[in-house]
Amino acid sequence: MTSPVKCLVWDLDDTMWDGVILENDTVTPRPEALRALTELDRRGILHAVASRGDHATAATHLRAHGLLDRFAAVCVGWGDKSESVRRIARELNIGVDSLAFIDNDPLERAEVQHALPQVRVYTPEDMAGLPERPEFTPAVTTAESADRAALYRTERARKESEDTFDGTREEFLTWLGLEMRVWRATPEDLARAHELTVRTHQLNSTGLVYGMEELRELIASPDHEILVASLRDRFGDYGTIGLSVSHRRGGDSVLRLLLMSCRVMSRGVGTLFIQHVNARARAAGLRPLAEFVATPVNRVMLVTLRFSGFQVLDAGPEPVVLVAPDEQGPSARHVTLIDDSAAPAGADAPPDVLDLISRQFQRVPERTAAAVGAESVTYRQLDLESAALARRLRVSGVRPGDVVVLHARQRLSLVVGMVAALRTGAAWCVADPGHPVAHLRAVVGDTGCAAVVFHGGDAATPPGKVRAAVAVDGAAPRLIDLDVAPDARTATDAAGAAIPAQSPDAPSYAIPSPHSPAYLISTSGTTGPPKNVMISRGGLASLIASRPYEPGLTAFSALRLAFDGSLMFTFHALCTGGTAVLPDADELPSAERVAALLRAHEAQQCLTTPSFYRQLLEHLDGADRHLRLLVLAGEATAPALVQRHRAALPRTRLGNEYGPTEATVAVTAHDVSGTPEGVVPMGAITAGSTAYLLDDRLQPVPTGDVGELYLGGAQLALGYAARPTTTALRFVANPFTPGQRLYRTGDLARLNTQGHYEFLGRTDGQVKIGGVRVERLAAAAVLESHPGVGQAVVVDTREALPGVDDAEVTTLTAYWVQAAPAPDGGRQSSLGTRELREFCARRLVPQAVPGRFVAVDSIPLTPNGKADEEALRRLRAPTAEAVALDTDRWTTDAQREVATCWAAVLGHGDFDARDSFFDLGATSLQVLALHASYQVRWPGAVQLGQLFDSRTVAAHAELIASTAAPDDAATRAPGPAVPTGRDV
């Protein structure tokens, strides 16, 4: 069999092009050279340069023709070509026998062939026929091999970072945040497994090469186990880098083949992989053995086995048989191992969501697949539009494992973009333009975002604003404007320059591994910067498979697509041939308009948060004629809300679900029947997930006792992008199932006698506001960054809203101490709620901006010296009645009385007649409270929906003056009492 070429080394002058650069020849690459470059690149064959001349001049010329990034290594100088070829082999960490060399000069070819007889040599006349030669024609081309050049470019970035790293090699490896994932091979892994056996020589323990059919038989054999390993770090994926084939013989588990990619030889992961194979053998009661067969190049593999503690058991005729040590040696502590090999991966694994959606393209092509606001697409249209965008992404350079940011207000293109990202094997992340720019920059910076998709014609995302937002050091995402025709300009860079297509024919990729990322969700961090949670395709597939919802229905999600709760019904509908319906950006703030959309589509299922559902209920009278199931998620559900639901929609089943973002949307479900007393349970754990309630010693607590909730199973996130330390702290080893992980939720809960979990609060400073998890510490850190604030503590409280029955709202109150006077003794200007709120709003998501700001002389402390949050919660947050009634601010009695209502609801009076109620931090529930306050003073004068259009004190006063009866002022009831306190 002809051994495959891994890398073709090119001469430049009179080979890649006709002419010599240093002689000022005007040279352009030969067409046949470009065709060979492109075709071999698709097959996973690398390219390098070994040429005579000046390195800087050659690099400049290659860059001018868009070719520099096509080469994994460039050696241009005046030394021997054979030495350049050796250097390329060392730099790429591949065997010299895997290289081919093409040069026009017969003396140069002879010199290389004499010094390196293993290297195959070709002339420029051979160039056009290279793709037809067997050594350049691998038996199979996988999605990973087609992207091999990108993997080596990433490796170059790693090498540059290592060269400039200020620390030891061990510290650098720890900084990389290496994560190795191991799973049992499935039929989907056959191509890459076969490719590894064919391409790997130096790190092949026996030199065996398995064909596809042989591997298929071994996967199905109960006496064999094939494990596959992948590796990633803060720079991205290394791809599939390891393979083992073990054979059970009596009481032994014999390692017949062990492969490790040469690209990871310096990462110290080989020993960890071997130790994992040994541990699996011992767990099955077998003695771990290994076979070794020497080849001309694989001696390093014997060194690896011996370094792992293997001793020679039988040195007779090959194979040499070695036995593993009884005691496990020291492991690679700088590598996190994620074991997905406990059961045959894929044996019972649910199908990929893209596969399920693709079935609906064929099954129900004319059915409406998705509707967002007034926009909609059929399954046929979704197929065509997502395929077109997927091709645009690929041509722009997006590859499997990359991240695509969908930066747009809520509209149908977000759904199309999600499916398009899945088709490319990339992960999507929805970045709402309404969030602070720090969120978009964190995604771009932490993930090496490959592309940002946006609508340049939307006032929220003009091209200039998007370019400025993604200007992150070290990141160069493509900018794809959906409002610019793709044939005019596929993508631009961060400077606005057009980017040429990566290839004329964008390749198609097979569905990636279940362990590939599907999407990222951005959440706030404990010190301000957001964290980006990476969810796998397998996790999303497991979520869909775990839900017992009726298939093929119209499912309504009253949520933003930037919030992962929206994905549950959206993807369940798309995967089962139903219709996914969501409000658009203009409808989302108004419960009345959202309810009207739900009614227009006669939705049969609906998902929303408890806070928003309180408002929807006002407009859903009679909707139980078509609404079969309503699910609440995102925050705790109050018993009073359940009672209201039963009274308003008696024929609609109510569900309550729970799950952190790190466990893929939801992992518990409860069918709320009857009228519960006390806490409404989160529910029982769903299929594919596990839950433990543990104490401080990680021991299970008895039923009925309070413990911290730990979650495990197929839905666990991959971790946090570019945050290996945070990932290691939150995703911990499962003490009950070795090799598995648990996510430490920080939620306190107990298990009741019916087997359902009940939520009892948080162990830390996280809290959900309006269904979005925020962290109080992040808000306090931002507030303390204001020059006029010396200290700040943000606490959450649940409190009743005036005038709204059974309604409680979780609010954030910021208690702050003024900064010390300036050194020059100058008097500081007094701070008010308005300035502090605007300062926070520029740096935090809306839900994390405190609703009240209370100035205090000092922060009370506990005996341990910590801020006494409970003491702060006992303080009454004051409102500024005096400010609200200041005659300088209010020109009419009506404005003064409206302002009094605002102050009572908002908890402060730092506003004037032109301020918007929503810009002052009001929540949707506070709109209800304000309307109730108006109803007390001016019954029937204002409709709830009008408060979403008329938003200022002046507008409300005019509205009331135009509709209230002339004698209302004399007969109205007294307004709500306004608590007094120190003016902020």
Question: Rounded to whole angstroms, how far apart are CA atoms 128 and 130?
Answer: 6
DSSP string for residues in 644-682: HHHHH-TTSEEEEEE--GGGSS-SEEEEE-S---SSPP-
HSE at residue 460, side-chain half, CA atoms within 13 A, is 16
pLDDT tens digits for range 588-609: 988 899 999 999 999 999 999 8
What is the 3 state secondary structure string of 166-189?
CCCHHHHHHHHCEEEEEEECCHHH
How would CATH label the architecture of 164-340?
A: 3-Layer(aba) Sandwich (3.40)
Question: Rounded to whole angstroms, how far apart are CA atoms 902 and 918?
Answer: 11
User: Is residue 43 exposed (0-12), middle (13-18) or buried (19+ Cβ within 10 Å)?
Assistant: middle
- Bridge partners of 555? 580, 605
> Domain 879-984 carries which CATH code?
1.10.1200.10
Helix (H) / strand (E) containing 954: helix 953-963
DSSP string for residues in 616-628: HGGG-TTGGGT--
Question: Rounded to whole angstroms, how far apart are CA atoms 555 and 570?
Answer: 7
Burial 464-503 (b: 16+ CB within 10 A, else e): eebbebbebeebebbbbbbebebeeebbbebeeeebebbe
Q: What is the pLDDT of residue 678?
A: 64
Helix (H) / strand (E) containing 429: strand 427-430
Q: What is the pLDDT of residue 488?
A: 46
Residue 689: both structure tokens together: 């997930």
Question: Rounded to whole angstroms, how far apart are CA atoms 645 and 222?
Answer: 54
- Cα separation of the two ends of the chain: 82
Q: Do you know the residue count of the chain?
A: 984
832: how many CB neighbours lie within 10 A of its CB?
Answer: 18
Burial 304-328 (b: 16+ CB within 10 A, else e): bbeebbbeeeeeeeebbbbbbeeee
Q: Where in the chain is the domain with CATH 2.30.38.10?
A: 684-767
CATH number of 684-767, picked from 1.10.150.20, 3.10.100.10, 3.30.230.70, 2.30.38.10: 2.30.38.10
Q: Where in the chain is the domain with CATH 3.40.50.980?
A: 350-537
Q: Where in the chain is the domain with CATH 3.30.300.30?
A: 768-877
Name the CA dihedral angle for 695, 696, 698, 702, rounded to a multiple of 10 degrees: -10
Q: Does domain 7-138 have CATH number 3.20.20.70?
A: no
Q: Where in the chain is the domain with CATH 3.40.50.1000?
A: 7-138
Measured in degrees and rounded to the nearest 5, phi and psi for residue 694 equal -125, 155
Q: What single letter denotes the amino acid at residue 631?
A: V
Q: Where in the chain is the domain with CATH 1.10.1200.10?
A: 879-984
What is the CATH T-level fold of the domain 768-877, as seen in this structure? Answer: GMP Synthetase; Chain A, domain 3 (3.30.300)
Q: Contact, 579 vs 379, CB < 8 A?
A: no
Q: What is the pLDDT of residue 799?
A: 67
Ramachandran sector of residue 28 (left: φ over 0; alpha: ψ -120 to 50; beta: rest) = beta
How would CATH label the architecture of 350-537?
A: 3-Layer(aba) Sandwich (3.40)
Q: What is the pLDDT of residue 343?
A: 43
374: how many CB neighbours lie within 10 A of its CB?
Answer: 12
Q: What is the pLDDT of residue 801?
A: 62
Question: Rounded to whole angstroms, how far apart are CA atoms 82 and 116?
Answer: 7
Q: What is the pLDDT of residue 826?
A: 47
* Residue ranges, the chain, pLDDT below 50: 1, 343-347, 488, 503-510, 525-528, 826-827, 863-865, 877-884, 966-984
